A and B are shown apart, each in its own frame.
Chain A
Amino acid sequence: MDALLEEEDVSATEESSSAVDKERPHVEAALGLTEKWDAREAGREVAETALQQLSGKPDFFLLFSTIHYENHGGFEEFLNGVWEVLPEGTPLVGGTVAGFMNNHGVFVQGATALAVSYPHMDVAIGYGRNTKRNPKKAAKQCAEMIKKELVNSPYKNNFLLNFVSSAELMKIPGQGYKKVIDSGFMSKFVTLVFGLSQYLIQKGPGREDEIFEELIHYFPSHNMILGTSVDDYKGRNNYIFNNNFLLKNSLSSLGLQTNLDVTVKSTHGMNKTNVEFNITKISKDGHIIKEINNKPAVPELLRILEWPEDFLNEKTMFFRMLYYPISVKRGNRQIPVVMPFILKDSIVTPCVVEKGKVSILTVSGINLLDALQKNIEYFDGTIPEFGFFSTCGTILQTLGNKINLIRMKLLEYFKDKPFIMVFCAGEGTYSPTQGINYANMSYNTVIFRQNKK
Chain B
Amino acid sequence: MRDDPVAEVLDNLMKFDEILACMVARRGMIDSVMPSSGTDSFKPEIYEVWDVLKRTMDSQLSVISEFSRIDLKKIDFELQEFDAMFYVIPETENALVAIVPALANKGLIDVELERARLKIYDLLKEENNQ
Contact = CB atoms under 8 A, between A and B. Distances in A.
Interface of A: 37, 68, 72, 98-99, 105-109, 232-234, 314-315, 318, 396-401, 403-404
B112 A396 contact: no
B107 A397 contact: yes
A314 to B, nearest CB: 7
B111 A400 contact: yes
A29 B30 CA distance: 50
B108 A401 contact: no
A396 B112 CA distance: 12
Contacts of B111: 99, 106-108, 396, 400-401, 403
B126 to A, nearest CB: 19
Given A72-B15, A233-B105, 8 more contacts: A68-B16, A107-B111, A109-B16, A109-B112, A314-B103, A400-B106, A400-B107, A404-B114
Contacts of B112: 108-109
13 contacts: A37-B12, A105-B115, A106-B111, A108-B108, A109-B16, A232-B105, A315-B103, A397-B107, A397-B108, A400-B110, A400-B111, A401-B110, A401-B111
Contacts of A109: 15-16, 112
A401 B96 CA distance: 15
Contacts of B109: 108
Interface of B: 12, 15-16, 102-103, 105-115
A89 B31 CA distance: 54
Contacts of A107: 111, 115
Contacts of A314: 103
Interface of A is mostly: mixed
A270 B112 CA distance: 27
A400 to B, nearest CB: 3
B107 A398 contact: yes
Contacts of B15: 37, 68, 72, 109
A232 B103 CA distance: 13
B102 A315 contact: yes
Contacts of B110: 400-401
B53 to A, nearest CB: 18
Contacts of B113: 401
Contacts of B107: 396-400
Nearest to B105: A233
A22 to B, nearest CB: 43
Contacts of A399: 107
B75 to A, nearest CB: 14
Nearest to B112: A108
A398 B110 CA distance: 10
Contacts of A400: 106-107, 110-111, 114
Contact of A232 (B102, B108, B114, B115): B108
A4 to B, nearest CB: 65
Contacts of A315: 102-103
Contact of A98 (B102, B103, B108, B115): B108
A74 to B, nearest CB: 16
Contacts of A396: 107-108, 111
A233 B112 CA distance: 15
The 4 closest A-B pairs by CB, nearest first: A397-B107, A400-B110, A401-B114, A108-B108
A398 B16 CA distance: 20
